[in-house]
Amino acid sequence: WWQAPTILNPHLSTGTKDSDGSRIFYEPLADFDTDGNMFPVLATEAPTLDNGGVSKDGLSITWKLREGVKWHDGKPFTADDVVFTWEYASNPATSAVTQGIYSRAASVEKVDDLTVKVSFAKPSPGWYDLFVGPNGGVLPKHVFGDYVGEKSRDASANLAPVGTGPFKLKEFRAGDTVWGDRFVDYWDAGKPHFDSVEMKGGGDSQGAARAVLQSGEADWAWNLQVEPSVLAQMEQGGAGILFSGPGASSERVMINFADPNKEVDGARSEPSTQHPIFKNKDARNAIALSVQRDVIVEQLYGKGGTVTPNNLNTPPQFVSPNTTWEYNIDKAKELLAGVPEAAGYKLLFQTSINSVRQKTQEIIKQSLEKVAFKVELKSIDGSVFFSSDAGNPDTNRKFYADLQMYTNGPDSPYPIAWARRFRSDEICQKSNSWAATNVTRYNNPEFDKLHDQAQVEMDPAKQAELFIAMNDLTVNDFVEVPIVHRGNLIAVSKTLEGYSPAAFMSDVYDMKNWSKKA
CA 191 – CA 211 distance, rounded (Å)? 26
pLDDT of 111 higher than 80 = yes
β-bridge pairing 346-352 and 403-408: parallel
- The hierarchical CATH code for the domain 37-157 is 3.90.76.10
CA 79 – CA 201 distance, rounded (Å)? 34
Entry pTM: 0.83
250-486 and 37-157 share a CATH fold: no
- CATH class, 250-486 region: alpha beta
pLDDT of 302 higher than 90 = no
CA 3 – CA 386 distance, rounded (Å)? 8
What local confidence, expressed as pLDDT, does residue 246 receive?
Answer: 67
| Residue 491 confidence class, pLDDT cut points 50, 70, 90 | very high
**3-state helix vs strand vs coil in the chain, percent to 5:** 30, 20, 50
| Residue 453 confidence class, pLDDT cut points 50, 70, 90 | very high
- For 60-82, write each residue's pLDDT tens digit: 999 999 999 999 999 999 999 99
For range 248-268, the mean pLDDT: 97
Q: Is 356 helix (H, G, I), strand (E, B) or coil?
A: helix
CA 266 – CA 502 distance, rounded (Å)? 41
What local confidence, expressed as pLDDT, does residue 506 receive?
Answer: 82
Rg of the chain, C-alpha, whole Å: 22
| Residue 518 confidence class, pLDDT cut points 50, 70, 90 | confident
Instruction: Name every residue whose Cβ is closer than 8 Å to that of residue 322 and which is 6 or more positions away in sequence.
Output: 468, 472
Q: Where are the domains of the chain?
A: 37-157, 250-486
pLDDT of 187 higher than 90 = yes
Q: Each residue of 53-85: b (16+ CB within 10 Å) or e?
A: bbbeebbbbbbbbbeebebbeeeebbbbbbbbb
